[in-house]
Structure 1
Amino acid sequence: MNPFEGVTPSLDVFGAEVNTLVALVLGGLWALAFVGCAFGALIGTGKWAVARHSNRSEEMTEAAGQLKVALIAFGVCAALGVIFAAILFIVGTVQG
């Protein structure tokens, strides 16, 4: 006997105020993640430009790596909604 059969996660039990508050907090955290990624990309780009201007190849490689990580993180943040939807779809398909 599966006690979770037919059960889906929902915040509605706590009321509309909590549901709205959770959505606002998650949206704010998501926005902060975007700001952090953008800040990292700007810092990486700046370091890369300075290193390139000074012809320091080792620092250019390090800055390019930092920039790549920031851009990948930005892409993951942008795709976060799709990633969660895909996970929930797969989990729902496996259970159903």
Structure 2
Amino acid sequence: QLLPVEKLPKYAQAGFEGFKTLNRIQSKLYRAALETDENLLLCAPTGAGKTNVALMCMLREIGKHINMDGTINVDDFKIIYIAPMRSLVQEMVGSFGKVRG
């Protein structure tokens, strides 16, 4: 069953603007990616949604540093994202631009 984006925490929904649901792989892994601090290894074909699973993992960390007023304590953590293509990095930067508190 595909998970509707509206079921994600409010702070995470902005990262999935334009999507109504997560895809099959993302729906299956969202709890591990967004609700735990466990390590996660995902091997899937191009276009399967791996980048958005990585985004959920990063949103998990961001979610731990949100103040009551909705702002994010950006000095409390760092996220490093390494990708084989500049376009993937630019896509991720665009997604984070929507999440900022």
TM-score of the two chains, using structure 2 as the length reference? 0.27
More helix by share: 1
Larger Rg: 1
Larger RCO of the pair (alpha carbons < 8 Å, separation 6+): 2
TM-score of the two chains, using structure 1 as the length reference? 0.28
